[in-house]
């Protein structure tokens, strides 16, 4: 795998993460428990869609096959997506959405922190912009996880159930493959496996405050970032997200 | 039991503003969340550089029915306005 191939794959992974979880969060628009959360979630979704444009835009540019961010987002099928499985998991209740967001934000903030020092200036510049947004996402999702985990007996039970349900999707964040090795060697992106300790410390601190217990089983569901096997949920999400561009290719408004 | 979060009044100092202005209100469980919610509800379009929130029930307001005794006496006191003075440029914004 050449350096450019590895870089395109790495950028598509980043862009697909933010695209898919951003779309998931946007599904709350108009349905949140309170107006303030509705607007906050819409803002976070828009931040992530904005980051997607930058990551996928750069991926398309380096790939040089004439695909831009929109083409990559709307004209690929499920097996071509490279997002973490965690990002495509359904929203569930509000608590589960916030738990998913927290587990993702914690990883996202650490990963972007490393990308700030990327040897590729284009990557570092996008990380610089995104990391400010993500610092706020993390602050917000962590606070909500603590408030609900350490809240009423019902909110505590729901948050523990959400953590138990989502935790098997955490391990995939730290799997490394050939492409990751090429990027790490070139100083473009960190080796995912090297981030686990920092992640466990950050997540552990917050979950401890939230009076939630981290499941002991470290079994990791995988197949999202390699594209070998997505969950059944991704296809339904794409059908919703892509139908207009599929029915009316290149429609603009 | 009251399940509603308390109401907070939001004040924002804008990019070029010298002081905080009341921009609206929102609900939040505590002050820290009220600031976060204010950030999301009222500064989406780059409006602010500083946010204040205060729980609405901590604001004491004058009564509209007292408007006569409170405000009318000042109507006839034109000499209280500084319009008869030239303000030197070096004083800056007042």
Considering the domain boundaries, does residue A16 fall inside one? yes
Considering the domain boundaries, does residue A253 fall inside one? no
A-B CB pairs within 8 A amount to 29
CB contact under 8 A, A36 and B26: yes
Rounded distance, CA A188 to CA A11, Å? Answer: 11
CB contact under 8 A, B36 and A139: yes
Considering the domain boundaries, does residue A144 fall inside one? yes
Q: Which residues, 6 or more positions from B43, have their beta carbon under 8 angstroms from its beta carbon?
A: B12, B51
Q: What is the largest CA-CA distance in chain B?
A: 60
Note the pTM of the prediction, 2 decimals: 0.89
Each residue's pLDDT tens digit in chain A (253 positions)?
A: 899 999 999 999 999 999 999 999 999 999 998 999 999 999 999 999 999 999 999 999 999 999 999 999 999 999 999 999 999 999 999 999 999 999 999 999 999 999 999 999 999 999 999 999 999 999 999 999 999 999 999 999 999 999 999 999 999 999 999 999 999 999 999 999 999 999 999 999 999 999 999 998 888 999 999 999 999 999 999 999 999 999 998 888 7
Give the mutation candidate from B33, B45, B46 for the A interface (greatest A CB count, under 10 A): B33
CB contact under 8 A, A147 and B29: yes
**CB burial of residue A245 (10 Å; 0-12, 13-18, 19+):** middle
Q: Which residue of B has its CA nearest to A43?
A: B40
Residue B40 is nearest to which of A36, A143, A147, comparing CB atoms?
Answer: A36
Q: Which residues, 6 or more positions from B32, have their beta carbon under 8 angstroms from its beta carbon?
A: A143
Considering the domain boundaries, does residue A43 fall inside one? yes
What CATH number is attached to the domain comprising A130?
1.20.1260.10
Residue A40 is nearest to which of B5, B27, B40, comparing CB atoms?
Answer: B40
Considering the domain boundaries, does residue A195 fall inside one? yes
CB contact under 8 A, A39 and B29: no
Considering the domain boundaries, does residue A152 fall inside one? yes
Q: Which of A1, A22, A14 is nearest to A137 (CA)?
A: A22
CB contact under 8 A, A43 and B40: yes
Considering the domain boundaries, does residue A252 fall inside one? no
Chain A positions touching B42 (Cβ under 8 A) are none
Q: Which residues, 6 or more positions from A50, have their beta carbon under 8 angstroms from its beta carbon?
A: A133
Whether this model's ipTM surpasses 0.90 comes out as: no
Q: How many domains does chain A have?
A: 1
Shortest distance between the Cα of A40 and any Cα of chain B, in A, equals 5
Q: Give residue A201's domain range.
A: 3-247
Considering the domain boundaries, does residue A77 fall inside one? yes
Residue B37 is nearest to which of A36, A139, A147, comparing CB atoms?
Answer: A36
């Amino acid at each position: 795998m050449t350096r450019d191939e590895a870089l395109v794959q790495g950028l598509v992974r980043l862009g697909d993460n933010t695209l898919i979880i951003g779309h998931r969060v946007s599904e709350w628009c108009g349905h949140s428990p309170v107006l303030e959360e509705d607007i906050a979630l819409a803002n976070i979704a828009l931040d992530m869609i904005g980051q997607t444009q930058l990551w996928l835009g750069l991926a398309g540019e380096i790939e040089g096959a004439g695909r831009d961010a929109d083409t990559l987002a709307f004209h690929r099928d499920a097996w071509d997506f490279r997002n973490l499985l965690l990002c495509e998991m359904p929203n569930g209740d509000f608590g589960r959405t916030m738990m998913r967001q927290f587990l993702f934000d914690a990883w996202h903030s650490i990963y972007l922190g490393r990308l700030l020092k990327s040897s590729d200036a284009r990557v570092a510049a996008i990380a610089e912009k995104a990391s400010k947004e993500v610092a706020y996402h993390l602050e917000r999702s962590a606070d909500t996880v603590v408030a609900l985990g350490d809240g009423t007996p019902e909110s505590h039970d729901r948050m523990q159930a959400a953590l138990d349900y989502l935790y098997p999707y955490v391990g995939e964040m730290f799997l490394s493959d050939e492409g990751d090795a090429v990027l790490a060697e070139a100083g473009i992106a960190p080796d995912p496996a090297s981030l686990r300790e920092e992640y466990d410390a950050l997540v552990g601190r917050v979950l401890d405050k939230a009076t939630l217990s981290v499941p002991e089983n470290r079994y990791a569901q995988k197949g999202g970032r390699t594209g070998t096997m997505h969950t059944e949920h991704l296809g339904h999400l794409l059908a919703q997200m892509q139908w207009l561009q599929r029915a009316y290719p290149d429609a603009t408004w | 039991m009251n399940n509603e979060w308390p109401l907070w009044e939001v004040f924002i100092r804008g990019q070029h503003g010298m002081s905080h202005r009341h921009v609206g209100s929102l609900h939040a469980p505590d002050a820290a969340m009220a600031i976060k919610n204010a950030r999301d509800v009222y500064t989406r379009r780059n409006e602010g550089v500083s946010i204040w929130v205060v729980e609405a029930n901590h604001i004491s307001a004058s009564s509209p029915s007292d408007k006569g005794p409170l405000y009318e006496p000042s109507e006839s006191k034109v000499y209280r306005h500084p319009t008869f003075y030239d303000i030197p440029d070096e004083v800056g914004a007042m």
